[in-house]
Amino acid sequence: MKLLQAVPCERKIPLYSFLSNTPISNKALSTSLKFDEYKYAIAGVPFAEKWRLSIRRDPDREQALFEAVVKDREYVVSHRQGSNVQRQVLVPPAFQHLQCIEIDERTDCVFDWLRVLENAACSS
């Protein structure tokens, strides 16, 4: 939240439902709703809107990332590292001969990966 204070936004909503030693927006909601339901409730967005996300894509950023990471016509994509967890991802045998591109933090916008994901032979 300290970092967000310097960013000019109309509204800043802390969506976390649990952080140790950090106050949350609504303790009653955080303990009675599921993780994703809480985020919608605290933001004042009907949960029924969950699958109606509208993304403003940046074709230039998507293309630049695509050109930086894709070396072969056919490739697979994996994502092993989350914010606080890392998992081993096994590429199916039928795809092991292909270039494996791992989603990483080379861009500050996860949506820049869309072109890479849409053109992959397989993603896991």
Residue finishing a domain among 31, 49, 67: 49
pLDDT value of residue 20: 65
pLDDT value of residue 21: 67
Tell me: do 14 and 63 sit in the same domain. no
* Residue stretches of the chain with pLDDT short of 70: 1, 17-22, 123-124
DSSP 49: G
Q: Which domain holds residue 97?
A: 59-123
**Residue at 54 is within a domain:** no
**Residue at 43 is within a domain:** yes
pLDDT value of residue 8: 82
* Number of domains, the chain: 2
**Residue at 113 is within a domain:** yes
Tell me: do 45 and 75 sit in the same domain. no
First to last CA, the chain: 32
Tell me: do 74 and 110 sit in the same domain. yes
Tell me: do 63 and 45 sit in the same domain. no
